């Protein structure tokens, strides 16, 4: 299967590079579990609590990156997790993390494209996606892939930044590239509509505002604090762009246009149930 598809995730997943080490220490400190984006262990604890992950739960982690969140969840609950990611660098690092954590028997990482799920139908009890959904352009297509590999009554929990994007070309341009990867943002209503169109029944939507703002500001502050080291690795244009990106994101949060939302949905167990919706 073709991987990477024109997107270079390698810089994002090289956690040991000098610049990434400085950035990660500034953002997460002793809460660095090998996560990406705006995730903290608190978000993962919330996810475990809300979805009721147990030892016998089989979880699919979509966009598993370097594997930190999957390993954290498995350590906390004893569940089995299959991660899928399109980045060979990320999957290689994730497998190393799992081995170092003595969890290779419970946490597995597959190099592949979630838009073409390589798993049999009705395999997983739960699918999760943690702040990576905006890299998928065809969200309905992805959700249809997810619903196919979930068991009947299986749960899909996705955490994603949402933006009610203003009609301002400068802001749109500032947000377009995200953190090294092109972004395809959506609104809360847009996510709900797409989940329903794919066949899911929405159970709960939770908004996280203050913690999301804190994490966003930490990212921007880290880029400013370690500017010279980041320029050396990522180049001046890329570094300057990301400072603008995080400053713009913070502005949208303060204007009430952006937030981090957890959507919890269920695959219907029968045809009658699929015609029902919540929220």
Q: Where are the domains of the chain?
A: 10-269
**273 pLDDT more than 70:** no
Q: pTM for the complete prediction? A: 0.89
Give the pLDDT band (50/70/90) at residue 14. low
Query: Judging by beta carbons within 10 Å of its beta carbon (0-12, 13-18, 19+), is residue 167 exposed, middle or buried?
Result: exposed
pLDDT at 50 over 80: yes
Report the pLDDT value the prediction gives residue 15, as an integer from 0 to 100: 64
Over 60: is that where the pLDDT of 12 sits? no
Inter-residue contact 110 to 82 (CB < 8 Å) = yes
pLDDT tens for residues 148-189?
Answer: 999 999 999 999 999 999 999 999 999 987 766 788 999 999
pLDDT, greater one: 164 or 5: 164
Residues 57-89 pLDDT 10s: 999 999 998 899 999 999 999 999 999 999 888
Q: Of residues 113 and 278, which shows the higher confidence score?
A: 113
Composition of the chain by helix, strand, coil, percent to 5: 50, 20, 35
Q: Does the domain spanning 10-269 belong to CATH 3.40.50.300? A: no
Q: Is the pLDDT of residue 249 over 50?
A: yes
Percent of the chain predicted with pLDDT > 90: 75
What crossing angle do the helices spanning 18-27 and 227-234 adopt, rounded to 10°?
A: 140
Q: By the 8 A CB rule, do 267 and 156 touch?
A: yes
CA angle 238, 223, 36 (to 5 degrees): 85
Query: What integer pLDDT is reported at residue 32 of this predicted model?
Result: 85
Tell me how many degrees the CA angle 86-29-38 measures, rounded to the nearest 5. 45
The three-point CA angle 166-207-178 to 5° equals: 50
pLDDT tens-place string over residues 22-49: 998 999 988 888 887 888 899 999 999 9
Share of the chain above pLDDT 70, in %: 90
In the predicted model, what is the mean pLDDT of residues 2-16?
A: 47
Question: Strand 107-111 to strand 201-208: parallel, antiparallel, or no bridges (unpaired)?
Answer: unpaired
């Amino acid at each position: 299967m073709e991987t990477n598809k024109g997107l270079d995730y390698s810089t994002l997943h090289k956690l040991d590079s000098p610049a990434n080490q400085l950035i990660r220490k500034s953002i997460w400190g002793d809460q660095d579990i090998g996560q990406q984006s705006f995730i903290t262990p608190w978000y993962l604890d919330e996810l475990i609590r809300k979805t009721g992950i147990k030892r016998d739960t089989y979880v699919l982690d979509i966009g598993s990156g370097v594997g930190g969140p999957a390993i954290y969840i498995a350590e906390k609950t004893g569940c089995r997790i299959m991660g899928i990611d399109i980045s060979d660098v990320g999957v290689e690092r994730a497998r190393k993390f799992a081995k170092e954590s003595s969890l290779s028997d419970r946490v597995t990482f597959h190099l592949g494209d979630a838009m073409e799920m390589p798993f049999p139908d009705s395999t997983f009890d739960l699918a999760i996606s943690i702040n990576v959904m905006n890299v998928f352009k065809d969200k309905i297509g992805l959700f249809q892939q997810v619903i196919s590999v979930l068991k009947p009554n299986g749960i899909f929990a996705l955490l994603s930044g949402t933006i009610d994007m203003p009609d301002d070309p400068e802001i749109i341009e500032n947000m377009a590239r995200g953190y090294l990867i092109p972004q395809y943002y959506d609104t809360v209503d847009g996510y709900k509509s797409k989940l329903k169109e794919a066949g899911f029944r929405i159970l709960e939507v939770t908004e996280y505002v203050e913690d999301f703002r804190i994490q966003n500001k930490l990212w921007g502050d880290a880029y400013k604090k370690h500017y010279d080291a980041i320029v050396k690795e990522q180049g001046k244009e890329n570094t300057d762009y990301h400072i603008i990106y995080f400053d713009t994101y913070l502005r949208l949060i303060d204007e009430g246009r952006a937030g981090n939302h957890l959507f919890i949905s269920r695959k219907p167990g029968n045809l009658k149930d699929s015609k029902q919706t919540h929220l």
